[in-house]
Amino acid sequence: MKRIFLRDVTSEIVTISGGDANHLARSLRARRGDKITAVDGAGNCAVMELIDFDKETIKARRVSKVQKISGEKKIILADCLPKQNRFDNIIEKATELGVDKIEPLISDRTIARPGGARTQTKLERWRRIAKEAAEQCARDTIPAIEEICTLDEWLKKISPLDEDTLLLFCWEMEKETTAREVLSVNREKNIVVLIGPEGGFSEREVDAIKSVGGVSVTLGKRILKTDTAAVSVLAMINYERS
């Protein structure tokens, strides 16, 4: 059954317009009488029957009860912005791997520092990428893409960590504690993954992260690019929870 995200999955009759209507009609080649699974990105789900098409909109009738989809423990990815447009790829892969929230950060050694109108343009693009990736991989929710902030601001926001949350960060100077070891004994917790920029975290930042309860981990003997590191840790989390 075709699957699409809609803002409203609870009304008896829903009007689908804009990019969603275009996606249904052209990309998915939907027709009158087809049934689709509609999810609202917040965990609500219902079956809709497409009943009318015109040039710009599609009308659908809800033909099932609204179901609430139960969620697992949360996964949050906090990633210092990489150069160029590599964050686009991080968002796509993180969405496929089940992340619930993505926090774009600026740290001491971050090179990419969008500002002004560019910030809003990037956020809109990132949120569109997350929505499209969620539809492609048949997720029930769309990860939230938060506003860009500094690492210091973000650490203040999440502190203090509750007992049910693990904050781990990848650090090239960590030689003993592996991500796999930490995840294997914390799989039932909410997990926050913090990834640094191309130049790594500064000593000041490492101290600050540890002061709020962050656990430093190694991903092995090789130093990975920021997007590779993010995908590696998220894949490990999926493995441990499977």
> What CATH number should be reported for the domain holding residue 91?
3.40.1280.10
Same domain, 147 and 79: yes
Average pLDDT on 111-124 reads: 87
Domain boundary among 45, 68, 91: 68
pLDDT of residue 118: 83
Q: How many domains does the chain have?
A: 2
Cα–Cα distance, 121 to 101 (Å, whole number) = 19
Is 55 a residue whose pLDDT tops 90? no
Tell me how far CA of residue 38 lies from CA of 23, 47, 52, 140, 221, in angstroms: 13, 6, 16, 9, 44
Query: 216 phi and psi, to 5 degrees?
Result: -80, 140
Question: For residue range 210-222, what is the model confidence (pLDDT) as tens digits?
Answer: 999 999 999 999 9
Same domain, 90 and 182: yes
Proportion of the chain above pLDDT 70, given as a percent = 99
Same domain, 180 and 102: yes
Question: For residue range 7-36, what is the model confidence (pLDDT) as tens digits?
Answer: 899 999 999 998 889 888 888 888 999 999
Tell me how far CA of residue 162 lies from CA of 118, 189, 190, 226, in angstroms: 34, 10, 10, 27
User: What DSSP line would sit under 183-220, residue for residue?
Assistant: HHT-TTSEEEEEE--TT---HHHHHHHHHTT-EEEB--
Question: For residue range 156-189, what is the model confidence (pLDDT) as tens digits?
Answer: 999 999 999 999 999 999 999 999 999 999 989 9
Give the domain extent around 225. Answer: 75-241
Q: Which helix (H) or strand (E) holds 104?
A: strand 101-106
8 A C-beta contact, residue 50 and residue 34: yes
Same domain, 219 and 152: yes
Same domain, 85 and 38: no
What pLDDT band is residue 70 in, cutting at 50, 70 and 90?
low
Within 10 Å of residue 182's Cβ, how many Cβ atoms? 19
pLDDT of residue 117: 80
Is 98 a residue whose pLDDT tops 80? yes
Cα–Cα distance, 64 to 79 (Å, whole number) = 39
Residue 88 DSSP symbol: H
pLDDT of residue 138: 85
8 A C-beta contact, residue 200 and residue 162: no
How, if at all, do strands 190-195 and 165-170 pair? parallel
pLDDT of residue 1: 81
